[in-house]
Amino acid sequence: MKSLLLFSFLVLSSSFLKAEEVKPLKVLMVTGGCCHDYEMQKMILQTGIMARANVEFTVVHEEGPEGKKDKSHRISIYEKADWAKGYDLVLHNECFGAVTDVAFVERIAKPHSDGVPAVVLHCSAHSYRMAATDAWRHVVGMKSMSHEKNRDLKVKNLATEHPVMKGFPMEWLDKADELYKNEVLYSGFVPLAKAYGEDTKKDHHLIWVNTNGLGKVFGTTMGHNNSTMEDPVFLDLVTRGLLWACGKLDDHGKPMPGYEAKK
């Protein structure tokens, strides 16, 4: 009996030490562009996610010349082929829909298809849509070129057993947000939640996961307003999605040992 207790103690001690030694996930947040309060949202996301998981952020926030919210601005970090090197995940919360340079857009997409995980939030799904390439759309998992008017959205959970959706309500009211229209869903797209489109008279998926090449992606088109971004339900969801994309979320929707928030 004593040896069994000693063995159990050693196993628990070893697990504790390993959890203590886990380094934070290095997350690059790319943000800025048209139509949203990115100055506040970058703080909401950093604070909210770090309160829920063992994550550290590097933030690249650009708006265009002289701080103008320019839809055609090219984020400077993307000019390098190895722009995502050294990061465990990239969180995209950007809105640059008028960029048309195909080589530039394909350079953004390549690290993700090569295996760098991603989180894609709101207008990131509409970014780079005017470029004559589907490379970024394949990262996102879908093609969307427009959205409905800003209104309350009744979000319906389609995958209650998926780890990302554990703890998400069966129905959730996302107040004053925009429903992005799904035009094309690519092969790696797995829908997790939907809302009804008043314009199109059909449902559109607004939470999902995607596999693109070697990369895993969590996406949601929710998050137009700060009020959605700072809602605990939203922050819980995005944190689970981030951990899932990195392979650090367990089957119960909880961070794996060592990836819980540091106290």
Per-residue model confidence as pLDDT tens digits over 147-195? 999 999 999 999 999 999 999 999 999 999 999 999 999 999 999 999 9
Indicate if the pLDDT at residue 7 is higher than 50. no
Residue 251 lies in a domain: no
Which tokens sit at 175?
């107040």
216's CB contacts (< 8 A; 6+ apart) are: 117, 118, 209, 210, 244, 245, 246, 247
Q: Is residue 15 part of a domain?
A: no
Note whether residue 14 is domain-resident: no
Residue 263 binned pLDDT confidence (cut-offs 50, 70, 90): confident
- Residue 195 domain-assigned (yes or no): yes
Distance of CA 190 to the CA centre of its chain: 14
19: pLDDT confidence band, cut at 50, 70 and 90? low
Percent pLDDT > 90 in the chain is: 89
Q: Confidence class of residue 12 from pLDDT cuts 50, 70 and 90?
A: very low
H or E stretch including 156? strand 151-157
| Residue-level pLDDT at 173 | 98
Q: What are phi and psi of 61, to 5 degrees?
A: -125, 115
- Residue 152 inside a domain? The answer is yes
Encode pLDDT of 238-255 as tens digits.
999 999 999 999 999 999
CATH classification of the domain holding 168: 3.40.50.880
Question: Is 60 among the domain residues?
Answer: yes
pLDDT tops 90 at residue 68: no
Domain membership flag for residue 113: yes
**CA 263 to mean position of chain CA atoms:** 24
Stronger pLDDT, 11 or 90, i.e. the higher one: 90
At 50 the three-state DSSP class reads: helix
User: Does residue 32 lie within any of the structural domains?
Assistant: yes
- Per-residue pLDDT of 225-236, as tens digits, reads 999 999 999 999
Position 123 pLDDT exceeds 70: yes
- Give the pLDDT score at 83: 98
Looking at residue 21, its pLDDT comes to 85
Q: How far is CA 141 from the centre of its chain?
A: 12
pLDDT of res. 20: 61
Number of folded domains that form the chain: 1
The residue segments making up the domain with residue 40 are 23-245
Percent of the chain whose predicted confidence (pLDDT) is above 70: 92
| Dihedral over alpha carbons 19, 20, 22, 23 (to 10 degrees) | 150
